[in-house]
Structure 1
Amino acid sequence: MVESAKKKKFKVPHTYVILFSVIIIMSILTYVIPAGEFDRVKDEATGRTLVSPDSFHNVEQNPIKPFALVQAVPRGMEDAAQIIFFIFIVGGAFQIITATGTIEAGIGRLAKRLNGKENLMIPIFMVIFGIGGATFGMAEETIVFVPIGIALARALGFDAITGTAMITLGAACGFNSGFMNPFSVGVAQGIAELPLFSGIIMRIIIFVVLLIITAIYIIRYAEKVKKDSSKSVVAELELEERGKIIDLNNVPTMRVHHNIILLTVIAGFAVIITGVFKFDWYILEIGSTFLAMGVISGLIGGLGPSKIAQEFVVGAKSIAFGALVVGVARGILIVMKDGLIIDSIVYGLAKAIQILPKSISVIGMYIVQVIINFFIPSGSGQAAATMPIMVPLSDLLGITRQTAVMAFQFGDGFTNSIIPTSAALMGYLSMGNIPYEKWFKFIWPLMLIWIGTGMAFLVIANAISYGPF
């Protein structure tokens, strides 16, 4: 009995415990890492605020005190309020649409057509969202599509991980290649004084390779789950949600009001995509459109004002755990900013690259960007903070600027799908009710494959002196 107790399986801590532990670790580092800052200057040509590469200086230490540590979580909630409430609105609006029966009827019909060809769904969705990631940097925007992906995946015998992955990792493949992404590659190339979207052929090749690798990874996982549901990383969640899975043998009939609601939803998504592409829409506008879409759909479905309000609360309540995770995770960044250690970390890592042998310095540059991405998960923000340093460093090391931009895009992109400081990751996990530790278990092998693939492409780029065209 004692021996069996000793062999008791280790239980992964709760997601909140993991995140708050990271906050504590970062607060301790504010006592250890010397505080420092770069001067910021405004680029008059673009209006961006960039770091001045030779301006790093130490400043007075500002270690995080115990009470400030406790405040990090509510301050993180405040800082991430826009995304948190966006998630609540999307969850509530989607529940209203679900209550009309349209999702069940529409997804049921689509699933029946795909029955026997389930695996085709994964690459199709990945290509569609991959193009979105590659062209307008689709990240947080995937949140609104996750519930539909999960409903379809479950109807076909897969799980929530499959439905989430085929949408979000498809977008990530596009974002990571970034062949026409103005928010990461575009900003980085502008700082590096390269023609906008130059080197596009290599980036399209990267996009295709990443899509193939990721599609195979997801399909293999999905097939394993379909054969044996206990193999699902979120098997407990799937048992809880069993009653919500669409029965393909008893698919509801698409009635007139279902078709009208479906057209309303399609029109709503078309408005969102147009707004993002043409008018730089973000969380506020997308959330407002989704709320309007939900209310209009509810009225068409005959729910009535009180029922619409009731369903909205049900939907928002069901994703409270995940929505609040975004705020807790933001507390990590709050601690690092207040402790004045982010610039010190960037400076220290950049200096470390200079002492590496020239043959592996490009890999060192890549690894540095991967590490920095934990602290600065914003693509354009990381470009503004690191590229003014990495560009002259690449010139010094004999690495082409285009290769330096590639090191940035890989370092900035890959780990967004695993780091807890990524608002997009925490957002779409909240929509799927997927605990962070479960997602981590699913994604870490793919993350190693992605990072290794990035290294291979960087070695090739360095060998061929990858240039502007």
Structure 2
Amino acid sequence: MPDTLVIIFFVALFAALLTYLVPIGSFQTQEVHYLADGVQKARTVVDPNSFAYQLNEAGEPKLEPIALFKGEGGIGLFNFAFEGLTSGSKWGTAIGVIMFMLVIGGSFGVVMATGTIDNGILKLIDKTRGNEKLFIPVIFALFSLGGAVFGMGEEAIAFAIIICPLMIRLGYDGITTVMVTYVATQIGFASSWMNPFSVAIAQGIAGIPVLSASEFRIPMWVGFTLFGIVFTMRYASRIQVQPQLSHSYHTDAFFRTQQGDAKLESRFNLGDMLILLTLVATMVWVIWGVVVKAWFIPEIASQFFTMGIISGVIATLFKLNGMTLNMMAQSFKDGAKTMLEPALLVGCASGILLMLGGADPKAPSVLNTILNAAGGVIGHLPDALSAWFMLLFQSVFNFFVTSGSGQAALTMPLMAPLADIVGVTRQVAVLAFQLGDGLTNIIVPTSASLMATLGVCRVDWGSWLKFVWRFMLYLMLLSSLIVLGAHFIGLS
């Protein structure tokens, strides 16, 4: 299996080829208003009837092929990596996510250097010996609930840093960690009945009551979550018996080495308790801030940075692992280093979107043309097949725009009126959107959160693909049955 960076480069070559074949086009935008929690809200979306090709001097649809290199801030094949790494803002992909990863990597580097996590894990294993299998269903369910209720996703990166060593010590692997953290959040995100970043926005744009059809979606969430738990537990049980079967067996050696260096009699004193309390308090504080104050990347990163400083000071005062202020600084740098590889992948993946013209509907781009063409194809299909093709289209489109709210703003203004034309209810169109958008985040290399979580668990994307393709196949089959079933019962 090629290295992840090699795979992304070949995807970039394919994106560059598309610019030689597909003309560029753009939409006009309009403002829609909807109610959410009794509050009137507005969102700018595309006008589905406004698509127009950019024309050349001869009055024909214009191609805008990517050059090998383009200066002055332009995007070319051989500078897509740099442009991707520096794109966005502190509020999102790519530069914001990359800086978020470096800060939390450094902060947890300090926490890990204190030895508290390793020693706490040894104590936990000793106290719960014989009941280790409970960790997987409990953690998976909690993360799925977080994805369903407040759109948890990026936050899984920080939790994975803590949980991965625990899973390795219990005889599982890094892949199991990714499943119970990030994958669980996306299962919840995709099957949610109240996710403010996908369901609420999509329903508002589609002109149907926000958070409606909860009686259908709540059992759907329970079903998807149970399926994820059962699949993960069966896999983890096999790995516990034969660790060499794991696709991440070789990269897990990093954590097994740490395990081998750990003392059998673990230390656990007042300093360790204070650091654990700091860690727990930070997690609770961050979750509260996300839910109540709508914190995002800058605020979350700041809280974890503060946690790293406090943990380092406590470790220095209690001389945990011989911690000093200089060791704090070195541990922060070492922790940030572990994030360098996934940070590069995030930036390169963002560069692919830029090569296709970016996600701005008003700027002429290849991506807008693809979006309009897909809408035209779906509009000429029978009703049941149209419902399924909406799911398929949203799944494919998520490769280019992994933001739930961004994808809703781009696609739902097209899908909602198309649903009316072909005899599919708008509720089913929203269902196809949320399942297609959320579930493919588990596999697409353009998802910054996925690549970051794989990075901190030291799982190569190629190894992840070898494992997860079968799980994704089951999920898409289940999603197809749900969307078709919802169509035939007339979900509205």
TM over 0.5: yes
Separation (CA, whole Å) in 2 of partners of 1:173 and 1:411: 11
Q: Hey, what does 1:443 align to over in structure 2? A: 468
Instruction: Tell me how large the CA RMSD over aligned residues is.
Output: 1.5
The answer to whether 1:117 aligns with 2:125 is: no
Q: CA deviation at 1:168?
A: 1.3
Q: Hey, what does 2:368 align to over in structure 1? A: 343
Q: Hey, what does 1:417 align to over in structure 2? A: 442
Separation (CA, whole Å) in 2 of partners of 1:201 and 1:91: 40
Q: Hey, what does 1:321 align to over in structure 2? A: 341
Residue identity matched to 2:392:
I
Q: Hey, what does 1:464 align to over in structure 2? A: 489
Q: Hey, what does 2:17 align to over in structure 1? A: 28
Q: CA deviation at 1:116?
A: 2.0
Q: Hey, what does 2:52 align to over in structure 1? A: 57
Residue identity matched to 1:66:
L
Separation (CA, whole Å) in 2 of partners of 1:156 and 1:249: 16
Q: CA deviation at 1:40?
A: 1.7
Q: How does 1:63-462 map onto structure 2 within 5 Å? A: 63-67=65-69, 68-79=76-87, 80-245=94-259, 250-302=264-316, 303-337=323-357, 340-462=365-487
Q: Would you identify which runs of 4 or more consecutive aligned residues in structure 1 move more than 4 Å? A: 246-249
- Which consecutive residues of structure 1, in runs of 5 or more, have no partner in the other structure? 1-11
Separation (CA, whole Å) in 1 of partners of 2:111 and 2:375: 50
Q: CA deviation at 1:118?
A: 2.1
Separation (CA, whole Å) in 1 of partners of 2:263 and 2:491: 55
Separation (CA, whole Å) in 1 of partners of 2:402 and 2:163: 25
Q: Report the number of matched residues.
A: 456
Separation (CA, whole Å) in 1 of partners of 2:441 and 2:409: 17
For residues 310-344 of structure 1, the C-alpha deviation after alignment (integer angstroms, 9 at most, x for no partner) is: 11111111231122211111111111125811111
Classify 1:416/1:251 alpha carbon distance in 2 versus 1 (closer, same or farther; 3 Å).
Answer: farther
Residues 376 and 382 of structure 1 are in contact (CA less than 8 Å); yes or no, is this contact kept in structure 2?
Answer: yes
For residues 69-92 of structure 1, the C-alpha deviation after alignment (integer angstroms, 9 at most, x for no partner) is: 111100110121111111111111
Separation (CA, whole Å) in 1 of partners of 2:171 and 2:272: 24
For residues 83-124 of structure 1, the C-alpha deviation after alignment (integer angstroms, 9 at most, x for no partner) is: 111111111111111111110122222223333222211110
Deviates more, 1:244-253 or 1:450-459: 244-253
Q: CA deviation at 1:249?
A: 7.9
Residues 111 and 248 of structure 1 are in contact (CA less than 8 Å); yes or no, is this contact kept in structure 2?
Answer: no
Deviates more, 1:104-113 or 1:274-283: 104-113
Residues 382 and 422 of structure 2 are in contact (CA less than 8 Å); yes or no, is this contact kept in structure 1?
Answer: no
Q: CA deviation at 1:167?
A: 1.1
Residues 380 and 422 of structure 2 are in contact (CA less than 8 Å); yes or no, is this contact kept in structure 1?
Answer: no
Separation (CA, whole Å) in 2 of partners of 1:317 and 1:446: 31
Residues 369 and 408 of structure 1 are in contact (CA less than 8 Å); yes or no, is this contact kept in structure 2?
Answer: yes
What TM-score results when the alignment is normalised by the length of structure 2? 0.90
Q: CA deviation at 1:253?
A: 2.6
Q: CA deviation at 1:223?
A: 1.1
Q: CA deviation at 1:247?
A: 8.0
Residue identity matched to 1:344:
T
Q: CA deviation at 1:42?
A: 3.1
Q: Which has the higher helix share?
A: 1
Residue identity matched to 2:354:
I
Aligned residue for 2:30, secondary structure, equals strand
Residue identity matched to 2:454:
L
Residues 134 and 177 of structure 1 are in contact (CA less than 8 Å); yes or no, is this contact kept in structure 2?
Answer: yes
Residues 154 and 246 of structure 1 are in contact (CA less than 8 Å); yes or no, is this contact kept in structure 2?
Answer: no
Separation (CA, whole Å) in 1 of partners of 2:232 and 2:365: 40
Classify 1:43/1:354 alpha carbon distance in 2 versus 1 (closer, same or farther; 3 Å).
Answer: closer
Separation (CA, whole Å) in 2 of partners of 1:322 and 1:374: 17
The answer to whether 1:46 aligns with 2:41 is: yes
> Percent identity of the aligned residues?
38
Aligned residue for 2:45, secondary structure, equals strand
Residues 143 and 431 of structure 1 are in contact (CA less than 8 Å); yes or no, is this contact kept in structure 2?
Answer: yes
Aligned residue for 1:46, secondary structure, equals strand
Q: CA deviation at 1:134?
A: 0.3
